Amino acid sequence: MEQDHSFRLSSPQRVSLEQLLRQRKADNLTARRANALLLLDDGLNCKQIAKVLYIDAETVRLWRKLYENKGINGLELKDYSKREGLLNRQQEGELIRHFTQNPARSTHAVRTFIEARFGAHYAQSGAIKLMHRLGFCYKKPKPLPLGASVGDQEAQIAGYNQLINTLAVDESVVFADAVHPEYQSKPAFGWFRADAKVALPTTTGRKRLNIHAAFNLETSKLTWVESTKISAETTRVLLKELERTYPDKHRIHVFLDNAKYHHAKILKPWLERPGCRIRLHFLPAYAPHLNPIERLWGIMHEHVTHNRYYETFDDFIAAILGFFRNTVPQKAHEFRSRITDNFRVISNRQYQTIQ
């Protein structure tokens, strides 16, 4: 940031600025600039003047520079509301192309580029207004996880729809996944009184609960097992539990992700045994949006962990298990509009990715 340097007005300069300040015909911006220069001459620095005039210090420095370079003519800008900016349209077009391809990390980077490329000086507030006018805004990029290919997603959706449309009455479809709710307070947005300072007590430690579950979209039935660790064994236990839960089904189609414990070799003999009623369908890698049970986990956090404090880990476990045992069956009709198989293809091509 440019440092303040000594600024002194001669007697004639001060008199002319005082006269300009008192002119009734002087526009407000010109008068404010003259006022700022007089305050500089009185010994105030740019930060102090900015605080008095409710502007930023860089604007004061710009006004000082205009006066030093052009004298009083640099302060008098007639028809200010209609005047062109410091850059012409061709330069603005170049600026748009540059920052579209090379996003600026800060307003300082914008000002530095403009001054180096075009020799024009912008105050911080002016640079912000310029970027807004050119169609830019200051925001954080969305984290973009690796995604499944469009072709893989389309094939998965087509295959699923084919299965559903030809499903026999003695067949069922479930979606399986593991979830690991952690014993941690999770602050979340909510409506609170504006004058209240809201806080959430925090917990210590990293204890977590491990749940392996399968959800039936048609019946909203949740089949689940709890374990100290999710593994190939918990996968086998869950699949056995599914066979017990659906005794009248000749085939139980289980859609699940590509976690290592779902592909474990020790599962193969069990799945290939005579009379096995389980058939696994693996989702494309990096495609959690094709597994509706992921949405159930989100609803679980809304009901149990967001803005909730549990004094002990046992209280936390009771709340999680209570959601699975009671809330899911009781509010299944409310969840159905949010947990659906209305799948869609997600393409990263809709985003401008930065490197």
Per-residue pLDDT of the chain (355 residues; tens, 9 = 90+): 445 667 888 988 898 888 888 876 656 778 888 899 999 999 999 889 988 888 888 888 888 888 888 888 777 654 443 344 578 889 999 999 999 888 998 888 898 899 888 888 888 888 898 999 999 998 888 766 567 788 999 999 999 999 999 999 999 999 999 999 999 888 988 888 888 888 999 887 789 999 999 999 999 999 999 998 999 999 999 999 999 999 999 999 999 999 999 999 999 999 999 999 999 999 998 889 999 999 999 999 999 999 999 999 999 999 999 999 999 999 999 998 999 999 988 877 666 666 6
b (16+ CB within 10 A) / e for 103-128: ebeebeebbebbeeebeebbbbebbb
**Sheet containing 222-227: which strands, arranged edge to edge?**
222-227, 210-215, 171-179, 251-256, 278-282
- Calculate ∠ Cα 158-242-233, nearest 5°: 100
For 105, the token pair is: 């990390």
Other beta carbons within 10 angstroms of residue 225's beta carbon come to 20
Q: pTM above 0.75?
A: no
